[in-house]
Structure 1
Amino acid sequence: MSARIGKRDASSWLPLAATIAMIPIRLQLRNFMCYRDDVPPLVLDSLHVACLCGENGAGKSALLDAITWALWGKARADSDDDLIALGRQEMEVELVFDVAGDRYRVVRKRERGAGKKAGKSLLELEVATSAPVRPEPVEGPGAAQGFRAITGNNTRETQQKLIALLHLDYETFVNSAFLLQGRADAFTVKSAGDRKQVLAEILGLGYYDRLERRARDQAGVRRADRLALQGALESIEAELARRPAYEQRAAQARESLAQREGEAQAASAELDRLRAAKQALDQQAASLKELRRRNDEAHRDLERLEQQAATLDHEIAAFEAVAREAKAITAGYTLFVDARERKDRLDEAARAYVEQSERVASLEREIAAARAKIERDESVL
């Protein structure tokens, strides 16, 4: 059994909504009207045209009611509780169907109310996570594939998702593709406005309204995009108009860069020269430090020699006092000669000390002059 709303021909004049077909694949009933909980599933996947036949009261119409109740929550009964099998407290209908190449599963349940307690209804909608497959001979379709829940936050939201999938509500369905028993003239007895509404739903005229709204929205977006692109283009053109100035500035920058690079090279060479001069001065400073150390040693030696000279002077005086005695004179003379020689050595050491001091002073003056020149060169750089 197939509830096809429209059929696309070679001209393809019908809107997309009018060409969508809902293909029932598998129907499972539990405690729905005359069907209890021991009913095997009804597999319809391999059928193109089906005929339901049987005696009155066999449950032919109940199968069709199960499909409409699963999809829209409506059937011939006045209330959902009237659809629950006699003596049962709950019922469930599961329908697997294909729409636009995708497979879905809808499960609708109803629990009968007790006393003042209202009954409970449950609606679940799922979509297959893989492409539709051929049903198994016993278990039926869906056994070889999984489903992912797309149920809404409440029953009303889930029902709206179903209607959006089918592009068809219950009233349009029972006035077009499916005629209820005793209501074959339901369409003809409607008012002109109601018939027009039903035909609009059947032909999918609302699709054109949606297209118009989408076209207006897209036009607004395109206009905004065009204005944005136009502004961007004007900005780019303005930048291109300033390209000669940018190129001139770039040439000046390159020339300035070359000049600065030459100056940097000269400064680098001067820096190398100053570093070499500083290294030489550092070496001279080290030499001066060594000379000062030697000078200090010579000064200490001189003081020691002067002390020795004073001692010798006292000895000479003593020797002179006894010079009258020959032996004393001879001995004293010998001592005097020795003292004289020692004094000469001391005088030579004193002269060496004076020369060293003068050399140290000269080196200090040279170092001071070199440092002053370095400071002048650094201030110029």
Structure 2
Amino acid sequence: MRIHRLTFQAIGPYPGKQDLAFEQLDAAGLFLLDGPTGAGKSTILDVVTFALYGKADDERKNTELHSTLAEPGTPPTITLDVSFGLRRFVIDRVLQHFAPRRGAKDADDVVTRQASIALSEVVEGQSQQLTTRVDEAQQILRSVIGLTREQFTSVVLLPQGEFARFLKASSNDREAILRQLFNTHRFDEIGDYLSQQAKTLRSAVESDSQRRESLRAVLIQTAETYAPSWEDDAGTQHLVEQEHQGSDETAALDLDALPDAELIAHVESRMTALQAHAQQRVAQASTTLETTRKKLTDLQEQQTQLREATDFRTRRVAHEAQAAEAKSARHQLDDHARAKPVVDAQNHLDTATQQLNAAVESWQHHFDAAQDDDVIGTWARQAAEGHQLFAVDLDDVPALCDQWKTIEATAIRALEQVQQHEKTQSSIAAARKRLAEWKRSHAGLTKQLQDFETTFATLTEQLDANRARAEELSGAEHTLQAAQQRLEET
């Protein structure tokens, strides 16, 4: 801290304005405030303290600094131009004081004027006001000074008779003052940082030691676990001479006493031997797996052939059954072919019967008509009376000839119908004979159909048996696939 100028008025024994240019004393280095007792030397120090902290000491109130010698209405003011390091500040303070009320006639009629401050900083020769608030100004000054008022008055400005108290202060109090004065907290921070780093390093060393011991235990356990004692496929000990020597060395070595590097080298040698043996076992397993795959392929081919043979046998049985059915179907077709004329004859017989019935009805109609004919009636009466039948008059001959022709034609038609009826009766007899033969053939076909149903039931049972056999073969195939998978996993 360097004081450049101090200006104040109406404070202590100084009623007027005082201007102290300390810059003029910079060349001297050291200077002395000299004067008789009560001259005001301590007041100057109190003014500096008040300008910096807003309070001179704990024993006096701020209003007591106001000079009783000053003219009424003269405010107590302080202006301090001071530097802290590379920063320069100008502090303008007005102390709390009593002032006459405006317009008051009585000198004792006064009011209290509150303290105020204006803090400015000189930057490149220009004054820049920082704040006019008391609390903000105190915070800024406290940060740049680095000392509390108590520490400042104990170290920088010692009141009269207080230096002995500083010397007699406790070590903790002096340490606090000196730490604050010489800014030794950075060394404390360095010490704390180094202490923390040392603690961290000690923790890391302890962790590394524990990790080392853990790794050594793992290495020793690995060396003991994987000592050369594996067996080959025949179940007998199978180690080469080098492995026998490694086993003897492992038994002879005290693994706990080995240095880290030797223990690691020993475990690496055992792991290398194990890797070589594992590769050999893998090669053997690969060969075995390849052989097993070939066997499995052969079994699969045999299974395929067996399945094809089973399918062929099934198809053959089905073909044989279909051949018998085809033969039976051919017989049925022949029987149906033979039965068709019978059916046609039956239809013809029905038609002929209908025609015969129609002819008989027609003949009966003509017969009844002939009986109702007048000529026939006349002939019948004349014959019954004994008259000559054909003794007629010549004039009636043409009419009789016409009637005779009519009767002759009717008789011829009736005769033809009788002949046709006889032929129809013969056809009906033949058709009935063929129908009887067809019924006998139908009975034979019914029996063959029953035989076919029996054969079908037998074939169904055989098919179920073949299906069960196929399921057994499928289970065997799944077993083979599972065996192949296990071989691959091995």
Q: Which has the higher helix share?
A: 2
TM-score with structure 2 length normalisation?
A: 0.33
Task: Name the larger-Rg structure.
Answer: 2
Give the TM-score taking structure 1 as reference length.
0.42
